[in-house]
Chains A and B, each alone.
Chain A
Amino acid sequence: MAPQTRNPPIISVKELNTFYGSRQILNNIKLDVQRKEIMVIMGHSGSGKTTLFKHILGLQRPQSGSIKVLDNEITTMTRDELFNLRKKIGVAFQNGALFSSMSTIENVELPLKEHTRLDRNTIKIMARLKLELMNLGEHEDLMPAELSGGMLKRAGLARAVVMDPQLLFFDEPSAGLDPVTSAELDELILQLRDAMNMTIIVVTHELESAFKIADRITILDKGVQIMTGTKEEICQSQDTRVINMLQRRVNSDIVNADAYMEQLTRD
């Protein structure tokens, strides 16, 4: 389903710059995400995609620029204001980030226990519904240490959507998974968007998965936004870095012999 571009964007990032010490991690990023859109942020390791992700969630503050999420400027929000906003946002982390001292279902129940006044049985039923959706119904009493990598990701996803958020963030859904499990997760992400009307941001470096789920794709390289566009626009791009990425080729910068020699012989 194509996103409606005339509505105001649900996420709007403008001129975002961020540094670790003197090293620039993100360079002038501009990004709009529309309601009910699946936006995939792609890039190699170290391209700054996780940093961008953390900035949009307000976990890190940028040196300059503006980030609006659900019409709130999060770069200037206080901690309490951020907490109120985050009740409408679900985040699934790469390794699930489940609490190891709690069983799977207790992990999923946690946001409901903290933020709602529902009784125990209702909370349990709501958590079970989400676990069933992720095919984890039989494993609700297992501890995180007893779950496989794919199960951890799905349990993390169940916890992220248990409050029915408007906006879902998913960090590396397919990293470290076999192709079949990874395809199942892609399918789940599409279902979530269609069944629950969520806007979904996915950070990944898996090409296949990105092309399967994305409405639009943003490609980052070394903190620079190379392009943002639909799958077709990405495929038709003439930018060598995009073409290299699509064809899984290494970016071959032209090597200056003197500079290379200096690099090898430096102190």
Chain B
Amino acid sequence: MLNHRISRLGLSGLFLFETSKKILTPPYSYPAIIKQLAFVGAHSMSVIVFAGLFVGMVLALQFYDTLVRFGSVSLLGSAVGLSLIRELGPVLTALMVIGRAGSAMCAEIGIMRTDNQIDALECMAIDSYRYLFAPRILSGVIVVPLLTAIFIMVGIFGGYFVGVILFGVSPGSYFKGMADTVLIRDLFMGLSKSIIFGLLIVWIACDKGYHLHLDKRGIYGSEGVSKMTTEAVVISSIAILYSDYLISALIL
């Protein structure tokens, strides 16, 4: 059992290695890349905007209620800004992308595996790493940071709405406080997290789907796909939260 797990981990590593090689060497399949950018990115916009808005609003609400006890509501802007940029923006965006795109990707690749479509690609001498996985991983790495930026921006305005418009914090102190306390280092932390999260989400989803025949342990067909999709979502969520801690600990 342990042997199986170690060799399976090695396979995932090789999977990422092979796909990265294809990302770094032409030719590229541009239509496939654009399709994935649209699927992971553009089609996730509404979810990200709503999530960002509500998270920003609830953050401002909670921080206001806490800060007002210490008479320091002028810190509201920096509290909302810092927590969104450093933690909540990257993590919550990643979790939303897992739910919307990661699960769908794993199920799609898994069904391609059970339906012999991946074997068919290989038999047509089309490299599945180049054709299927390079565009997906590339789009994850490009799109998740962009979605995170949108999430953070919308969240800051959600916080503005609650803090400034509802509770009457002065708009100047909200933005000035944020501009004073948010450093380049914080932006760098948020950005590097979101790039790594983008990679992790797509890597785990594609790997689980691609190696479905090795992992399903006798569970056949549709049940195998559903089990692997669940596993992909659980594993990538845990991986996101754990790597979030690691990256924070490394940078701080």
- Seen from chain A, the residues whose Cβ lies within 8 Å of a Cβ on chain B are 54, 57, 59, 79, 83-84, 86-87, 89-91, 93-95, 97-100, 110-111, 114-115, 156, 159, 169
Contacts and interface: CB of A to CB of B under 8 A. Distances in A.
B36 to A, nearest CB: 12
Contact of B120 (A79, A84, A97): A97
A89 B123 contact: yes
A114 B124 CA distance: 9
Given A100-B117, A169-B123, 10 more contacts: A59-B123, A91-B119, A91-B124, A95-B115, A97-B115, A97-B119, A97-B120, A99-B112, A110-B126, A114-B126
A115 B116 contact: no
Contacts of A159: 124
Contacts of A95: 115-116
Contacts of B131: 114
Interface in B115-166: 115-117, 119-120, 122-127, 131
Given A95-B115, A97-B115, A86 B120 contact: no
Contacts of B112: 99
A48 B120 CA distance: 19
A209 to B, nearest CB: 21
Nearest to A79: B127
A94 B120 CA distance: 11
Contact of A83 (B115, B117, B119, B125): B125
A111 B120 CA distance: 11
A215 to B, nearest CB: 23
A68 to B, nearest CB: 18
A84 B123 CA distance: 10
A87 B122 CA distance: 10
20 contacts: A57-B123, A79-B127, A83-B125, A84-B125, A86-B123, A86-B125, A87-B125, A90-B123, A91-B119, A91-B120, A91-B123, A91-B124, A93-B116, A97-B115, A97-B120, A99-B112, A110-B124, A110-B126, A156-B120, A159-B124
B116 A86 contact: no
Contact of B122 (A86, A94, A110): A86
A94 B124 contact: no
Contact of A115 (B115, B120, B122, B125): B125
Nearest to B112: A99
A85 B224 CA distance: 32
